[in-house]
């Protein structure tokens, strides 16, 4: 009798799982192109990580090439520029995380208060820079900062009798320029994410707060920011995971690859790219990519561990 009940329960569970699978089958087909792309782009290249530990020879192939141990990693740590590129990569990304998060939340809160028609226009306008190619952005920046024909020199500085600045040889201005350009380009994307979260909040909280006499600022502090905390933590953790990566177009295209600016624009990605162009060393590039991925993975785990200890409900895992 017990065996019969167990078999019936097992059969019911299988039928239920099969029915659930059939019901979700259209969703699986919709997700299939993304899964295929993820597999081809992210998982198929994984065996190539062995290049980081090899002395690559095109005739012998990837797996037939001689082993080089950790010698490929020495390129990143023994050069004179190792400290500069690591410092630039980390400090710029930390600054981007803080400024972009604050600006995106502020803009999202402002957009949430606008009417629907105006909101759609501003959403599109703010998101547009994120969709523009880095090459186009570099030309837009050049149109502003060109020494001879730039808008800043000719239309802003010249009327006040200030001599034009050679922007692409003066490195002291570029930390601010790069931060400004990055904020203009990326804040729209993060803003849309925060805005979609805010729109999903239960309006009953705000109505109750208004009845109790809470001002807009008090509603922001007591309702909006606390409810946004999970989204803020998630996006921050993802950004921390890529803190050893940099926006290649921002640091290579926008400064026009000017050698005079290398000390403030050179990051790990641009340094490896230049080294690959000059030396043609594929293994060094693979070693740098592996180094960045491992460090990013460790940083995500560490940041998530801290969040889990402080507020376990908002941790990613």
Q: What is the pLDDT of residues 198-207, one digit of tens each?
A: 888 888 888 8
Q: How far apart are CA 152 and CA 167, in angstroms?
A: 10
The CATH H-level (homologous superfamily) assignment of domain 71-314 is MetI-like (1.10.3720.10)
Q: What is the DSSP string of 169-215?
A: G-GGGHHHHHHHHHHHHHHHHHHHHHHHHHHTS-HHHHHHHHHTT--
pLDDT of residue 12: 57
Question: Global pTM?
Answer: 0.80
- Sorting pLDDT into bands at 50, 70 and 90, what band is 4? low
Task: Say whether pLDDT at 288 is over 90.
Answer: no
Region 2-9 average pLDDT: 52
Provide CB contacts within 8 A for 67, sequence distance 6+: 53, 54, 55
Higher per-residue confidence, 191 vs 288: 191
Task: Say whether pLDDT at 122 is over 50.
Answer: yes
Tokens of 245: 């990566």
Task: Say whether pLDDT at 273 is over 80.
Answer: yes
pLDDT of residue 152: 87
The whole-chain average pLDDT of the chain stands at 83
- Sorting pLDDT into bands at 50, 70 and 90, what band is 215? confident
């Amino acid at each position: 009798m017990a065996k019969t009940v167990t078999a019936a329960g097992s059969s019911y569970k299988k039928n239920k799982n099969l029915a659930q699978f059939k019901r979700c089958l259209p969703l699986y087909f919709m997700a299939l192109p993304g899964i295929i792309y993820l597999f081809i782009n992210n998982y198929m290249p994984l065996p190539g990580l062995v290049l980081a530990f090899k002395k690559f020879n095109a005739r012998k192939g990837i797996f037939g090439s001689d082993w080089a141990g950790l010698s490929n990693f020495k390129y990143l740590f023994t050069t004179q520029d190792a400290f500069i590129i690591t410092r630039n990569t980390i400090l710029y990304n930390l600054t981007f995380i803080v400024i972009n998060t604050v600006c995106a939340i502020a803009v999202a809160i402002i957009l949430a208060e606008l009417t629907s028609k105006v909101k759609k226009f501003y959403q599109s306008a703010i998101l547009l820079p994120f969709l523009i190619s880095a090459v186009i952005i570099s030309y837009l920046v050049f149109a502003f900062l060109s020494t001879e024909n730039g808008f800043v020199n000719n239309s802003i500085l010249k009327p006040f009798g200030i001599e034009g600045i050679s922007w692409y040889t003066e490195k002291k201005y570029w930390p601010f320029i790069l931060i400004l350009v990055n904020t203009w380009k990326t804040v729209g994307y993060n803003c849309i994410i925060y805005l979609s979260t805010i729109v999903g909040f239960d309006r009953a909280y705000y109505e109750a707060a208004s009845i109790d006499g809470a001002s807009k600022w008090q509603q922001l502090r007591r309702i909006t920011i606390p409810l946004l905390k999970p989204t803020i933590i998630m996006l921050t953790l993802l950004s921390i995971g890529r803190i050893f990566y940099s926006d290649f177009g921002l640091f290579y295209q926008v400064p026009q690859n000017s050698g005079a600016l290398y000390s403030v624009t050179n990051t790990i990605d641009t340094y490896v790219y230049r080294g690959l162009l000059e030396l043609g060393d594929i293994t060094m590039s693979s070693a740098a990519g592996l180094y960045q991925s491992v460090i990013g993975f460790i940083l995500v785990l560490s940041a998530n561990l801290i969040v889990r200890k402080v507020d376990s409900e908002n941790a990613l895992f």
